[in-house]
Amino acid sequence: MKSRFLFPLIGLIAGIFLSSLFPDLFFSILCVAISILIWCIQFYLGKNPRTVFKYSFLHVIWITLLFAGIGGLDYTYRAKPFVYKDLNGEYIIKGTVIDVKTLTNGDRFNLAVNNILDEHNKSIECRNLKFLLKTDGLIANKGDIIEFKSKPKSINTYSKSTQFNERMKKQGILYFDNLRYENIHKIDKKTGLLTLSNRFKTNLEIDIEKSKFKRETGDFLISIILGDKSFLSSDTRQALNSAGMAHILSLSGMHVAIILSIIMILLFPLNLVGKRKFRMGLAIILVWFYVCLTGGSPSTVRAAIMASFIAGSFILERKNSSINALFAAAFFILLIDPLTLWNIGFQLSFLCVLSILTFTTRLNPIDRHIHPGLFKITNMVLITIISVFVTWSLIIYYFGQIPLLFLPSNILLLPFLPIFIGLGILYIGLISLGIDWPILVHLLDYYYEFFINGASLLSLNETSVLNIKVPYESTILWLIGIFFILMSFYFRQRNLKILSSFLSIGILFSSITLIFYKDNTESFSLKFPSNLTNMEANFLNGGKSSRLIFPMRSISESHGERIHILSIDNKIQPDAIEIIKKRFTGENNFILVGPKADFSQIAELTLEGNFNSIILHSGINKKKKENLLQLMDIGHWDKVYSLRESGSLEFDL
């Protein structure tokens, strides 16, 4: 059997998922007990120890149940957040920084909580608890230990988006707070591998910023190679989103494959001296260094594990299977960190790679031996179509939109990405050695302009992006239908193939039908698109959408069902400020702030907390945003969002 990790993976996923639903360990212990019982029965009947490890119906059952139990125990003890009591009051919290993100309203630190002390200086028992800390000006890296006083707030109140809050809870984050940086103390500095690689990455980013690139080229280079998207402008994000190429900004297996190919080319001289295996081993080591350098996202780790399995098979001269390498990668990632199961990047990348490995070659009508060039072109088209076909429901469920021009954009522009990355890596390597080649700077500037202008041309405008709501039930049905399609390709018996095909068609049809017939009348949301030329908002009421456009360089407002929006792109008359405060009371009040607004007046309007959110127009740059935050009370910073930095925003009402 080629896919030996399939059933351990299925069991592990089932165990993690079911343990997240049930609070006790009964399910996990029961699974382990039943698996041992079946193993004993099989051993007794077989009279041969080897028979219990041969693939059979009973073997599949006991091995799946065993890893379901292991997955449940692993999730409960190593991932499921636990705190002895609800945190109500002020506490001293000590935690290790595990992630840092630069956002509109300050830096966001994800902490693994080490210790919590109450007002009596007594420790509160907690396990696997994470804390979200928002501040501005704190200099801390991954691995650093910080301590602060806090009155924690429930993560349920963090965002207007219930879906986002639920995703935070799935990652073990139950509490958050906003603090000034001077109230946070760094008490220890770690020097682990990820910390050292993060500092090396920071130094590379500084070198790139100091280089002779155009600013946009350097920012794109940092995003596409080093994985730091905080440098990217909203215009670049919007162009790639509308063209259906936003996936290139998230480090994935595609990036790892490109990096590995470049490394293998550079190490080709080792082949000439008979060091083929050494070349492969060294390439994998360098790939893992790249994974550490970029922060170790689930998609890059998955790709690196896959590459390691395939390289190991080559070095040991064993048969290898890409599908089995994928299952093995997912298995070890989930075993190490069960919370990765709810990571969007992990879900999308795993589905895409599994579908590509299963469908692409089988659906390609071109003979690779007769027409190798045409076979590769057809493969590229099929990969794009298959990726979107399999994941569209999941993408829309999480992001609420899907680009309509993804196919021509990816076919025409994606082949140029490896060249850009290759030149970028060469330049980064040279500047780290103190060598600056102007010709590389010009080439990368030209490539960036070609790439982004091409994406902008193909995306046309925001109408090329389809905004749609997909119910949760429809997404689940679609994934089940995809599962049956996959099974139909792996079943050898004709009857099972036909049955799986009919089941998949019926389930996929039901999934699509549910989108149109499900009652969405109680679904309300408000979306602010990233647009430099207009100030606008889209109110979504179930399946209906209403577009609200506000005039630039003026002050206007709009009342709608459940919403009240104030648009400010000019100076307000002093006597009108109190009138506005009285008009905007209650819930779901939003301010859309334009570049011509007086920020001191905005700070005065929001001082009493009348507004749920302050949305900064795309024309407001980071420096202006920081000026506004300095004028505002820090307790209201979590209400400020920038369309320039984060792109379009949507709020559940």
Which stretches of the chain score pLDDT less than 50?
1, 521
- Number of Cβ atoms within 10 Å of the Cβ of 411: 15
- 126-127 and 82-83: which strand pairing? antiparallel
Distance CA 313, CA 325 (A): 10
Percentage of residues of the chain with pLDDT beyond 70: 86
Distance CA 158, CA 168 (A): 9
- Number of Cβ atoms within 10 Å of the Cβ of 447: 20
- 106-117 and 91-103: which strand pairing? antiparallel
3-state secondary structure of 586: coil
The predicted pLDDT at position 1 comes to 46
Burial of 421 (0-12, 13-18, 19+ CB in 10 A): buried
Planar angle of CA 572, 576, 577, nearest 5 degrees: 80
The predicted pLDDT at position 627 comes to 80
- Which of 494, 16, 492, 110 is CA-nearest to residue 8? 16
Distance CA 410, CA 383 (A): 10
Give the tens place of pLDDT for each residue, 210-256: 777 788 888 888 888 887 776 777 677 777 777 777 777 777 777 78
- Number of Cβ atoms within 10 Å of the Cβ of 382: 18
Give the tens place of pLDDT for each residue, 502-517: 888 889 888 888 777 6
What residue type is 26 in one-letter code? Answer: F
Distance CA 3, CA 11 (A): 14
* Strand ranges inside 34-139, DSSP E: 82-83, 91-103, 106-117, 126-127, 130-135
Burial of 88 (0-12, 13-18, 19+ CB in 10 A): exposed
Dihedral sign from CA coordinates of 330, 333, 339, 345: negative
Give the tens place of pLDDT for each residue, 18-55: 888 877 788 888 889 999 888 887 777 666 655 555 65
Q: What per-residue string of b and e applies to 48-57 under the rule 16 or more CB within 10 Å gives b?
A: eeeebeeeee
